[in-house]
Structure 1
């Protein structure tokens, strides 16, 4: 009986180790996929848009920036016609997944040369062909100490635009 109990404990322990390894493996795969996606933009490679699902959504920093993949591609064309579009480097990324690992979501802290620190979150669908981004939302990370100044600037800008 002790041997059976020991074998069961060992089996469950190995099963837990395999699960942890699978999660680490999935995280590495997701990190590589998202890093490559960001690199595609930094180098103005049209493969960037191929990584977004046909029904994917991209939300930018401006309140008017809510696009389906094809509309986003049309809007971004002027940036991708250059040698570089935009550059996002993740300094932190957290990856989460559904139990069956078919749906993955992440949040990331980004360094950008133009907007400074940004934050983003995304949803990835795992398909037979690989990963695809279903939803991505980018935001500028505003320090709490200056949020009043930023919101005042936005209000002033919106008032001026109405005139």
Structure 2
């Protein structure tokens, strides 16, 4: 191959890839900005990154909110100027074969110590939006019995209330 043609093709490939952001990079940025918006108590930016029908599941068994419910729950914290400050220390992102759904898991540095976030994003009008998020505490396997002892009575009562419904 002619070295000038090779050089020209190489420059074209490099030039065409510059400025392109992969979906994985976009999703990383969205999740980082979402956590940043909470840390800065930026209510509008935080909820703008979520889809209209988003669901947020918190660490308490009763915390399953649609977007509107989560906004109502969160508003007082944001209004006080201090919502929550979660920083991702490790994140895995997976994108579906059609490129319109993604799921992720992340380890978070939080006031509760190490937590796990996981969720789903979907493309809406070409933009990634958080559609489902689950926040959970991580419990070392060696400590699970002690945690079960703390939770036993509360969980038993809650389970009974769910079974009666």
TM interval, shorter chain, is: 0.7 to 0.9
1:156 deviates by 4.0
Partner of 2:145: 148
Partner of 1:78: 76
In structure 1, runs of 5+ residues without a counterpart are: 1-17
1:26 deviates by 1.6
Q: Secondary structure at the match of 1:37?
A: helix
1:25 deviates by 1.8
Q: Which ranges of 4 or more aligned residues in structure 1 deviate by more than 2 Å? A: 156-162
Matches within 5 A, 1:1-163: 25-46=22-43, 47-112=45-110, 114-157=111-154
Counterpart-to-counterpart distance in 2, 1:63 and 1:159: 12
1:127 deviates by 2.0
**Aligned alpha-carbon RMSD (Å):** 2.2
Counterpart-to-counterpart distance in 2, 1:130 and 1:101: 11
- How many residues get paired? 141
Q: Secondary structure at the match of 2:25?
A: helix
1:160 deviates by 9.0
1:129 to 1:116, Cα distance in 2 relative to 1, 3 A: same
1:157 deviates by 4.5
Counterpart-to-counterpart distance in 2, 1:131 and 1:103: 9
Which shows bigger deviation, 150-159 or 119-128? 150-159
